[in-house]
């Protein structure tokens, strides 16, 4: 009889632990990510990459943290052994209307476009729904070398209290989204 009582007492705790685990940001790189275009990225092996300003085609572009996303993608490129040019240098040297690929002697350009950034449940439930594309372009030829899309519902309800500010949490979410999206992009293999 004591065994049944112990099992009954542990059942709600195990359900609570399972529920809490389902509410955090997933730690499965590449999950919810699809390759849109598998071009010649592995054979071209671009090294120096310009990270273009993030474009937003979502309905409410003012809520998309484009600067945080861009910083996140710069970090993710480094993890994949690419060399992103400093964002400040790119912004200073490139005037949007006059930019042409290769103007900074880069080998490739990473373009990121936010298709959807749904924040209606962010304040109440810590939920963010995102659809975002990334394209690696050959700076010399303009050829698309690789393209990918992430479609993710991010839940931060339980980990949000771990960060001192909402901006710190948003920065972490942007870093994870960028890392997961680029996780399926072929890594650069120097010397290959």
What is residue 50's predicted lDDT score, i.e. its pLDDT? 95
* H/E segment holding residue 131: strand 127-138
Query: What are the two backbone dihedrals, phi and then psi, of residue 41, each rounded to the nearest 5 degrees?
Result: -60, -45
Q: Which of 40-49, 118-127, 165-174 has the lowest mean pLDDT?
A: 118-127
Strands 83-84 and 48-51: parallel
CATH number of 25-183: 3.40.50.10610
What is residue 138's predicted lDDT score, i.e. its pLDDT? 96
What is residue 62's predicted lDDT score, i.e. its pLDDT? 80
Those residues whose C-beta lies under 8 Å from the C-beta of residue 141, and which sit 6 or more positions away, are none
pTM of the model: 0.79
Compute the Cα dihedral for 77, 82, 83, 89 and give only its sign. Answer: negative
Query: What are the two backbone dihedrals, phi and then psi, of residue 181, each rounded to the nearest 5 degrees?
Result: -65, -45
């Amino acid at each position: 009889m004591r065994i049944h009582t112990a099992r009954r007492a542990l059942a709600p705790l195990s359900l609570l632990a399972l529920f809490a685990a389902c509410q955090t940001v997933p730690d499965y790189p590449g999950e919810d990510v699809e390759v849109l275009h598998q071009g010649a990225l592995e054979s071209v092996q671009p090294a120096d990459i310009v990270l273009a300003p993030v474009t937003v085609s979502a309905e409410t572009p003012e809520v998309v943290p484009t600067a945080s996303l861009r910083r996140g993608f710069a970090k993710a490129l480094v993890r994949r052994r690419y060399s992103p040019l400093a964002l400040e240098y790119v912004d200073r040297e490139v005037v949007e209307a006059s930019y042409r690929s290769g103007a900074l002697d880069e080998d490739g350009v990473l373009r990121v476009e936010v298709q959807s950034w749904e924040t209606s449940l962010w304040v109440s439930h810590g939920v963010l729904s995102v659809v975002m594309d990334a394209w690696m372009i050959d700076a010399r030829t303009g050829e698309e070398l690789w393209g990918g899309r992430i479609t993710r519902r991010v839940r931060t309800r339980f980990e949000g209290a771990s960060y001192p500010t909402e901006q710190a949490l948003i920065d972490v979410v942007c870093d994870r989204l960028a890392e997961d999206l680029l996780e399926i992009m072929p890594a650069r293999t120097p010397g290959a």
